[in-house]
Amino acid sequence: QQQVKQSPQSLIVQKGGISIINCAYENTAFDYFPWYQQFPGKGPALLIAIRPDVSEKKEGRFTISFNKSAKQFSLHIMDSQPGDSATYFCAAKETSGSRLTFGEGTQLTVNP
């Protein structure tokens, strides 16, 4: 059972555009929602994370929007650059545990 659903599977954006990746979850015990960025041949790297007590968190060009009632959260990459081309994973963690449940991943390509 996939507890975190991520879309789209792949995304192509022009340089300078906005990339938006969406995730939805069902488990209301999740209380920590990170996004990871993975380049080929590398492990996932923590990009930005949010907790349910805030609706938005911004770090540089990266913003997480969180909708607790809809059980959805999304990653927005402003002014997308070719160097942002990577696979992005959303994830979630339960209050009582420490394992992360990952979405299926989105392969982002930013064309120059």
The footprint of another protein (CB under 8 A) covers: 32, 34, 36, 41-46, 49, 89, 93, 97-105
Residue 33 or 74: the one with the smaller Cβ distance to another protein is 33
Query: Nearer Cβ to another protein, position 25 or 102?
Result: 102
Q: What is the largest CA-CA distance in the chain?
A: 44
**How far is the first Cα of the chain from the last one, in angstroms, to the nearest whole number?**
38
Please report how close the Cβ of residue 30 comes to another protein at its closest, in angstroms: 11
Residue 50 Cβ, how far from another protein at the closest point, in Å?
11
Candidates 95, 90, 4; CA nearest to 52 is 95
Q: In the complex with another protein, which residue's Cβ is closer, 25 or 80?
A: 25
8 A C-beta contact, residue 25 and residue 104: no
Closest approach of Cβ 29 to another protein, in Å?
A: 13
Contacts of 60 (CB under 8 A, 6+ apart): none
